[in-house]
Amino acid sequence: MQTTLRGRDLISDLDFSKEEVETVLDVAWDLKMKRALGQPHAYLRDKVLAMLFFFSSTRTRGSFEAGMAQLGGHAAFIESRTTQISHGDTEREMGEIFGRYFDGIAIRHVDWGVGNRYLNLVADASRVPVLNMQCEIYHPHQCLADLMTIIEKKGRNLRRKKMVVSWAYAASYLKPVSVPQSLVLQMPRFGMDVVLAHPPEFPLMPEVMQQARDLARANGAGFEVVHDMKEACKDADVIYAKSWGPLVTTTDPAEGKRVQDQYKDWVANDELIALGKDDVIYMHPLPADRDIEVTSSVLDGRHSVVFDEAENRLHAQKAVMALTMS
């Protein structure tokens, strides 16, 4: 177990080593057990977390807010539009000032080319940990919950387990690339063979792809890219199919929507899930475009673990907060 996480930021998935991620998971399971048994675990009594949102949420706000309360502290929900950020509060000022008011700063900012830089500039000026609740590049806390869920379903030894990270069509909006990027960075470190499937116009960031290849090579894991959803899912242990925007190709919303609408047949349906192993699990961070991105029969079916996955956001985040803010 690593004991060097106090005061640390978690902005990129690679900010924590593999061993430190394992420590987070061990603490998360301990906290999950304590909650199940009704055992108090107020490790952050009198601590306060600032939650600064530039982008709306359901699970993220709920899990961080509930988690801080269960740890004996308080989470202050701050919608960016209710602040003076648009009137001149800079990243340095937010880091300096919130770092003096609060014991931790959590930020969700997914604007392309803006969010990750914002988090890092706040962190540079802050004397307390800065936690990434999702930026345009990474979604580390979601990925920790995903890893926790996969281990619960598939066991600690994930070597040679096949995980498909696939694009799927959604009609609602051009979603960030941060979830698939976090997955292709984290899962090879645990020995999973990752297959990334997407139409040609939906690549991930080149620097992230290079890191993913390097990590797979270093850990003896497989990593490949295909442009056929069905081909990718054959004999899969895990199918993680969700939408993301063609943001590396174009940041123009109208052009992005036009490109996206060419691939309405990329849907997670029963036929697709049947291509995986008998005990394949289907994952999605939610919210999903029900019966567009994924059919209800899959989302609510026996292979789906999306609600366990959503619950584990709470436990994984509590572990990170307890380790970094104590």
Instruction: Answer positive or negative: Cα dihedral of 86, 91, 97, 100.
Output: positive
DSSP lists the bridge partners of residue 132 as 107
Backbone angles phi, psi at 19, to 5 degrees: -65, -35
Both structure tokens of 145: 């919950």
Distance CA(134)–CA(129), nearest Å, equals 15
Both structure tokens of 233: 């899912």
Distance CA(325)–CA(68), nearest Å, equals 11
Whether residue 273 contacts residue 239, with contact meaning beta carbons closer than 8 Å, is answered with yes
Distance CA(213)–CA(223), nearest Å, equals 6
Q: What is the pLDDT of residue 173?
A: 84
pLDDT per residue as tens digits for the range 176-194: 999 999 999 999 999 999 9
Q: What is the pLDDT of residue 39?
A: 98
Whether residue 63 contacts residue 314, with contact meaning beta carbons closer than 8 Å, is answered with yes
Whether residue 104 contacts residue 77, with contact meaning beta carbons closer than 8 Å, is answered with no
- Helices 140-154 + 18-37 axis angle, to 10: 70
The pTM of the whole model exceeds 0.85: yes
pLDDT per residue as tens digits for the range 9-32: 999 999 999 999 999 999 999 999
CB count in 10 Å sphere of residue 95: 22
Whether residue 227 contacts residue 198, with contact meaning beta carbons closer than 8 Å, is answered with yes
Q: What is the pLDDT of residue 56?
A: 87
Average pLDDT of each block of 10 consecutive residues along the chain (326 residues)? 94 98 98 98 98 94 98 97 91 98 98 98 98 98 98 97 98 93 98 98 98 98 98 98 97 95 97 98 97 98 98 98 97
Domains in the chain, start-ordered, CATH in brackets? 13-139+313-325 (3.40.50.1370), 140-309 (3.40.50.1370)
CB count in 10 Å sphere of residue 1: 8
Q: What is the pLDDT of residue 289?
A: 96
DSSP state of 159: T
Residue count of the chain, please give it: 326
- Calculate the CA 121 to chain-centre distance: 21
Coil, helix or strand at residue 206: helix
DSSP lists the bridge partners of residue 239 as 164, 282
Whose structure tokens read 């996206």?
260
Question: b/e map of 7-38 (b: 16 or more CB within 10 Å)?
Answer: ebbbbbbbebeeebbbbbbebbbbbbeebeee
Q: 238-242 and 193-197: which strand pairing?
A: unpaired
pLDDT per residue as tens digits for the range 301-317: 999 999 999 999 999 99
Both structure tokens of 164: 């498909």
Coil, helix or strand at residue 242: strand
Coil, helix or strand at residue 134: strand
